[in-house]
Amino acid sequence: MANPENLKYTKEHEWILIQDDIATVGITKYAADALGEIVYVDLPKVGSVAAHMKICGEIESTKSVGELYAPMDGEITEVNGALDQAPDQVNQDPFGDGWLIKIRYTSLPDLLSSTEYDALVGE
């Protein structure tokens, strides 16, 4: 699966969809494949503060534990509660139903374009 062109990316293999002042955040297909089948997702509380590059959640697969970094400063406005029951959505549809959190951001750091992220993961 190609990395969608309409999204921004981080070196930590997260994708970001910017819509007005809300950023939707997930992990890329590349990251989901590397983790293996995801069995548990620990997400921050709605209303909590997101701080750029601070850990705000965990993604566990059968084999490993991955950390979720907040890609920007802001406030968590929504988390994907459906992942409690179906964490494997992150594998099935990483760029869609497998989204993780929404942040009302206060500032935007430099993010990678899809072309730059493609180059990072060698696609």
- Site for another protein, rule CB under 8 A: 33, 36-37, 39-40, 42, 58, 60-63, 65, 87-88, 91
Q: How far is the CB of 39 from another protein (least distance, A)?
A: 5
Tokens of 80: 């994907």
Nearest to 111 by CA among 3, 8, 21, 6: 8
Residue 23 Cα distances to 10, 28, 39, 64, angstroms? 13, 15, 25, 27
Instruction: Name the residue nearer to another protein (CB basis): 10 or 61.
Output: 61
Q: Which is nearer to another protein, 39 or 53 (CB)?
A: 39
Min dist CB 105 to another protein, Å, is 26
Of residues 12 and 42, the one with the C-beta less far from another protein: 42
SS3 state at 113: coil
